[in-house]
């Protein structure tokens, strides 16, 4: 179809046959401070192309800041981050944010625009896509997230879970190589969480590279290729879900798991 992009797409309609071309991230000695407060104290992390990395850890440990460094919503004070070998620190932020999408806890949809328009706006404003084409792509991405019939609804008339799926459709519309998810189910009513997590699991299966900050330990165990435990601005442990959840090494991770599991 004319609207199809080279590395989409998801959803029941398209089956599981298509595959994303996820990018690889290499994070080296990344440091970040807010004023005097050192928030990231030298983070090293590899995220292989097409894999899901879940980042867990106590509040204030620097998880959101690390994600924000990955698309330069904040600028690291030191170290390097490479996307498929290319340093993101020298890329134009607008270009970078097309390649590295982000989904937030509070959706950040425009309340006065419909779901379809919210997805289209990213395409017409950032990708400079003509409206007709943007409409076709936006409709396809809303179909992918199971909201084909909700395109003309404003956010306020959608459930939180549907709003979050619109936000994911908006991120997907950019054809990113990586998507960052920052506690995207934390603001949802419990019965709406599963639909969003299932969609994320599907994206992961289809080869999207994903970095997911989450408190959903079940999701991390089930879906993650790699789990990273952060505390006080550092990665304390990283490994497979089995290693992290069944065989934690550090006292800090054991204490954290005892509190959250
Ligand atoms: P997490 O996502 O793990 O809860 P954050 O990355 O949000 O952690 O925050 C790490 C630390 O940085 C915390 O101590 C937090 O208070 C501080 N912090 C976060 N954002 C800002 C900001 N914009 N200005 C000043 N301090 C901040
Ligand atoms: Mg956070």
| Beta carbon of 60 within 6 Å of any ligand 1 atom | yes
Tens-digit pLDDT profile for residues 84-112? 999 999 999 989 999 999 999 999 999 99
Please state the φ and ψ torsions of residue 190, each to the nearest 5 degrees.
-50, -35
pTM score: 0.93
Helices (H), 145-183: 160-173
Q: Whose CA is nearest to atom 5 of ligand 1?
A: 62
Q: Tokens standing for 35? A: 């004023």
Closest CA to 182 of 83, 93, 68, 95: 68
**Distance between alpha carbon 50 and the CA centroid of its chain, in Å?**
13
Are the C-beta atoms of 13 and 200 separated by less than 8 Å? no
ipTM above 0.85 for this complex:
yes
Atom of ligand 1 nearest to the CA of 182: 2
Tens-digit pLDDT profile for residues 166-197? 999 999 999 999 999 999 999 999 999 999 99
Sheet (strand 209-213) strand order: 100-103, 178-182, 209-213, 52-56, 226-231, 234-239
| Beta carbon of 186 within 6 Å of any ligand 1 atom | no
Q: Per-residue DSSP letters for 81-132?
A: EEETTEEGGGS-HHHHHHHEEEE-TT----TTS-HHHHHHHIIIIIS---HH
C-alpha distances out from residue 256 to 43, 92, 184, 245, Å: 20, 38, 21, 11
Tens-digit pLDDT profile for residues 9-39? 455 444 455 689 899 999 999 999 999 999 9
């Amino acid at each position: 179809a004319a609207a199809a992009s080279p590395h989409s797409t998801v959803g029941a309609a398209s089956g599981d046959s298509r595959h994303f071309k996820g990018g690889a991230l290499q994070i080296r000695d990344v440091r970040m401070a807010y004023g005097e407060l050192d928030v990231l104290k030298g983070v090293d992390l590899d995220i292989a192309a097409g894999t899901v990395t879940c980042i867990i850890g106590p509040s204030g440990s620097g998880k959101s800041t690390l994600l924000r460094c990955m698309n330069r919503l904040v600028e690291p004070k030191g170290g390097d981050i490479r996307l498929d070998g290319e340093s993101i620190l020298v890329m134009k932020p607008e270009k970078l944010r097309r390649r590295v999408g982000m989904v937030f806890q509070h959706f950040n949809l425009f309340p006065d625009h419909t779901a379809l328009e919210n997805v289209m706006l990213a395409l017409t404003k950032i990708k400079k896509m003509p409206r007709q084409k943007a409409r076709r792509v936006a409709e396809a991405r809303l179909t992918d997230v199971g909201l084909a019939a909700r395109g003309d609804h404003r956010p306020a008339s959608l459930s939180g879970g549907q709003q979050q799926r619109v936000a994911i459709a908006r991120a997907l519309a950019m054809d990113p190589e990586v998507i960052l998810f920052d506690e995207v189910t934390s603001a949802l009513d419990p019965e709406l969480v599963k639909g969003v997590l299932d969609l994320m699991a599907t994206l992961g299966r289809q080869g999207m590279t994903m970095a997911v900050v989450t408190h959903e330990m079940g999701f991390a165990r089930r879906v993650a290729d790699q789990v990273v435990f952060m505390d006080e601005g550092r990665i304390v442990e990283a490994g497979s879900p089995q290693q992290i959840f069944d065989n934690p090494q550090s006292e800090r991770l054991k204490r954290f798991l005892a509190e959250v599991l």
